[in-house]
Amino acid sequence: MSTSLPKHCQTPCRSPSRSALIGNAICNIYKTLGYTCVGINHLGDWGTQFGQLIVAYKKWGSENAHKSYTVTDLNNLYVRFHQEAEKNSGLEDEARAWFKKLESGDTEAKELWQHFKEISLKEFQKIYDMLEIHFDAFVGESFYNTMVEDTITRIKEKGLAKVSEQALIVDLEPYHMPPCLLRKKDDSTLYATRDIAAAEYRKKTYDFDKMIYVVGSEQKLHFNQFFKVLELIGYDWANRCVHVDFGLMKFKDGKMSTRKGKVVLLEDLLIEAVERIRKIIEGKNPSLENKETVARDIGIGAIIFADLCTKRSKDVIFDWDEVLNFEGETGPYIQYTHARLCSILRKFGRSVTADIQFELLKEDETIILIKNLGQFPSVIMKAAEFYEPSLICNYLIDVCGSLNSFYNAHRVLSDNEELTKARIFLVDATRQVIKNGLNILGMHAPEQM
């Protein structure tokens, strides 16, 4: 069986964030269950926002400076456009005109678009490398632009398309939804049209059993409309397309907003997290080997866990004191528990064997831990059913709690050889489960901290 997971990351000026982290975890969950997964990074590299960016560049950018621009520079231009557009509505008309030129193959528009796209992709790849997220296909909306004419023709042949207020639409009023716009009155297409074309292409290319779209909750209506159009066309696989939505990541100053300029880039969070963890290590364990690697694993892991531990449909409230707490329900806490188990195994100093007397593992705390470990497969299956990585996070927290209760109540290494072997076996099994769970989430499991 195969599962295709398009992850939409908007450009320009928006860093890959929750969609990539959640999508990567879901992909890992399905791979663990034996599925063949195709991870598709579907970048929003087409649309009116590029018309807006071209207008902003031509009005306020420096000549030829786009060749050395960064994502921050693009973001600043994008923010300024929307600030100015609030005072001058004519800017939106200019932006639509430039996007129309881009769709029509205008040389200047395509050259600027290509530069802006390359800047964004280069920046995004840095973040994917930091997170160790891999995509099997890295294509955006523009890839499907040449396919939309055939898609629109098929929709027309089914008698689904009609003209309304000079725009081409699919009327979805019978299904209690606004119309799905295929073409604007200026004949430019919308991302609904391109999403329909992309779905057709993916079915033909990958013949998926299920296609999972990991996109924010604000796009719920879009996916309801888009999936309904696929159904009306007559595709029997339309009901195997799933929108996995998620809430916002909020900071103390409220919702991040690219248009208003209140944007926090994921790269900045990752870099700061690693630096903060590096300082904690210097203060608590300055002689630790491979400090840089450990700081990176814990810092990046802390951000990943903070994103995934909340039920995805809810907003994530980001607080540094909570995210990096080694004693709370956090990534560092789980990683530290794993490292502590590795330390016990190093002290044991021998190979772990399953040739043990299982009847010795009989205390209440021991039984609770064993039962908890036995739930791992069912938790993974439930996480896949509901597309919910937070279930893995919560499970790992429970396992660590059970482990600590066991460890505090019973001595692992003792003069009783058979009891020591049995408890070491349980320690190693717990370590393995924690490591596997962290790996599914996209995190490392340090052996020393």
Poorest-pLDDT segment among 259-273, 314-328, 368-382, 428-442: 259-273
DSSP string covering 134-159, please?
--SEEEEGGGGGGGHHHHHHHHHHTT
E strands, 45-179, in order = 137-140, 161-164, 167-170
In this prediction, what percent of the chain has a pLDDT beyond 70? 92
CATH 1.10.730.10 for the 286-441 domain, yes or no = yes
* Equal fold, 2-255 vs 286-441: no
The span from the CA of 88 to the CA of 399, in Å, is 57
Label residue 255 by pLDDT band (50, 70, 90). Answer: very low
| Confidence at residue 184, expressed as pLDDT on a 0 to 100 scale | 87
pLDDT at 37: 96
- Tell me how many degrees the CA angle 176-179-183 measures, rounded to the nearest 5: 170
Q: Identify the top-confidence range among 43-57, 102-116, 372-386.
A: 372-386
Q: What angle do CA 380, 381, 385 make, to 5 degrees?
A: 120
Residue 70 confidence (pLDDT): 82
Task: Assign 71 to helix, strand or coil.
Answer: helix
Label residue 374 exposed, middle or buried (CB < 10 Å: 0-12, 13-18, 19+): exposed
For the chain, which residues make up each domain, given as ranges?
2-255, 286-441
Full-model pTM: 0.88
d(CA 85, CA 108): 23
Closest by CA to 296, choosing from 265, 327, 272, is: 272
pLDDT in tens, 284-339: 999 999 999 999 999 999 999 999 999 999 988 888 989 999 988 999 999 999 99
Helices (H) and strands (E) in the chain, counts: 16, 11
Alpha helices in 214-317 (DSSP H): 220-233, 266-284, 291-308
Task: Read off the pLDDT of residues 309-319 as tens digits, 9 standing for 90 and up.
Answer: 999 999 888 88
Query: What is the side-by-side strand order in the sheet with 241-244?
Result: 137-140, 36-44, 2-10, 210-214, 241-244
Residue type, 169: I
CATH class of 2-255: alpha beta
pLDDT tens digits along 346-362: 999 999 999 999 999 99
pLDDT for res 260: 45
